A and B are shown apart, each in its own frame.
Chain A
Amino acid sequence: MTLTDQANALLRRVPVWLVYIVCMAGAPWLFWLGVSGGLGPEPVKGLERELGELALKFLVAGLAVTPLRRFLGLNLMRFRRAIGLVTFFYVCCHLLVWLVLDVQLLAQIWADIVKRPYITVGMAAFVLLVPLAVTSNNRSVRRLGPAWRRLHRLVYPAAILGGVHYLMLAKGFRIEPLVYLALIAGLLLLRLPFPRLLGSSSRVGGDSGVGRG
């Protein structure tokens, strides 16, 4: 048994509900830190940023599922829906903190969305993710058929917009947003046809899985 086989065997024994619980626990934990002073004397911005970064991390993890299987044989497909929905969960938390705790004023929220390009970009990413979250159930997969796969390619532009959103809000030249953007770009590039030429993986890449991105 290879290392990959062992990992896959282990992964098969992990229940999906556990992934949901463990991955979403970050939100109440951060919220508790914010209330109890663990995020410093000005917790709102910290909470907002941490939730946004978690959303980006899960977004990257979700984009990595297919390349991991294709190039390393590591099978995380069972968890892909969970990873996607956890991403959306953190995007919603991030957005809610921004709306309710950060901006606060209804009039200013709309002004910010249309006036501030980095917020426009972030909102666009959110809007693109909504139909994906709504159709993340077996019934939608069955009903939409091949259209489901096409629809869920919206995660690609959403990911780029998410990365750009982070880059645009940075004050000064910053490394972190560039790392996220590079990861996102790299994972999207791996989906282009040309990596199939790179040898051994071409066979794995050819099989068909429902909802493969």
Chain B
Amino acid sequence: AAGLVGLGAGSVRAETLEPNGWEEITSYNNFYEFGTDKDDPARYADRLTISPWTVKIDGMVDKPGDYSFDQIMSAMTVEERIYRFRCVEAWSMVIPWNGFELADLLNMAGVQAGAKYVAFETLLRPEEMPGVRYPIIEWPYVEGLRLDEAMHPLTIMATGIYGKPIPKQNGAPMRLVVPWKYGYKSIKSIVRISLVDKQPPTAWNKYSDREYGFYSNVNPNVDHPRWSQATERKVGSGLFAKKVPTLMFNGYEAEVASLYAGMDLAKYH
């Protein structure tokens, strides 16, 4: 399928995104469960067992239960999505994901009327994850979205990159991708999805709510307390590359700005 770059009609930009190479995408990762250096995940994630894999879907759903990865995949339609990926550390990539819309998965489980948020949880398996020996943040890694963000057509569960199964260092076998939010919202190696009625705790927000808000929408006008978010460095552009301006909502403003109409984006950062 054609890369859903700007979701068609709503997008004003005619630019085509040039994806980063496989090597860059799979060797420069933040996945602290395997270590804090950028090459630690590529070095240590191979010990992760991803088969069998079960995702518990619970909370306010009609059909709670333990869904096997194969069971989920047999019910979903996988397509390619070429998205910008902007890390809170002010670097960025363009990644050709393969995946399905999160909304399809949530609809499969049947979202009940009172549900307002979706909570996600990463696998915590110390014997396969050398990084969790250290309390870098509180384990397991947890994330959350408002239900309308989760149901947005841009929000996907990625299961592949460049048409291949997603590598372990990128969050195999299944990870969230929310392209208009900082990368840490796109939680990896998901084992649990819960529909809830209250805003769930999120990993980096628990560590420092001043630095990492619940929403974490990419916003060049709201700096991280310790660095500017106005510009970003494109991974792979070399030692002497100029930084480029960061786009509001990471370039997906036309598609998602309405989700936050009337909200103070500095307060709800």
Contact = CB atoms under 8 A, between A and B. Distances in A.
B134 interface: yes
B238 interface: yes
Interface residues of B, number: 31
B68 to A, nearest CB: 32
B210 interface: no
The residue among B227, B230, B235 with the most chain A CB atoms within 10 A of its own CB is B227
A172 B207 contact: yes
A172 B30 CA distance: 12
Given A172-B136, A174-B136, A116 B239 contact: no
Nearest to B242: A104
A116 B226 contact: yes
Given A169-B226, A172-B137, A40 B239 contact: no
Contacts of A116: 225-227
Given A40-B39, A41-B24, A42-B233, A112 B240 contact: no
B136 A41 contact: no
Interface string A30-49: 00001100001111111100
B135 interface: yes
Interface in B17-34: 20, 23-24, 27-28, 32
Contacts of A35: 238-239
Contacts of B67: none
Interface in A141-175: 168-169, 171-175
Contacts of A46: 38
Q: Determine the interface band of chain A, counting residues with CB < 8 A from chain B.
A: 20 to 34
Interface of B: 20, 23-24, 27-28, 32, 36, 38-39, 89, 91, 134-137, 207, 223, 225-228, 230-231, 233, 235-236, 238-240, 242-243
27 contacts: A35-B238, A40-B27, A41-B27, A41-B235, A42-B38, A42-B91, A42-B236, A43-B239, A44-B239, A47-B239, A104-B231, A108-B228, A108-B230, A111-B228, A112-B227, A112-B228, A115-B223, A117-B226, A168-B226, A171-B36, A172-B32, A172-B136, A172-B137, A172-B207, A173-B136, A173-B137, A174-B134
Interface of A: 34-35, 40-47, 101, 104-105, 108, 111-112, 115-118, 168-169, 171-175
Given A44-B239, A104-B231, 19 more contacts: A41-B28, A41-B235, A42-B38, A42-B233, A43-B238, A43-B239, A45-B91, A46-B38, A101-B240, A108-B230, A111-B228, A115-B223, A117-B226, A168-B226, A171-B36, A172-B32, A172-B137, A173-B135, A173-B136
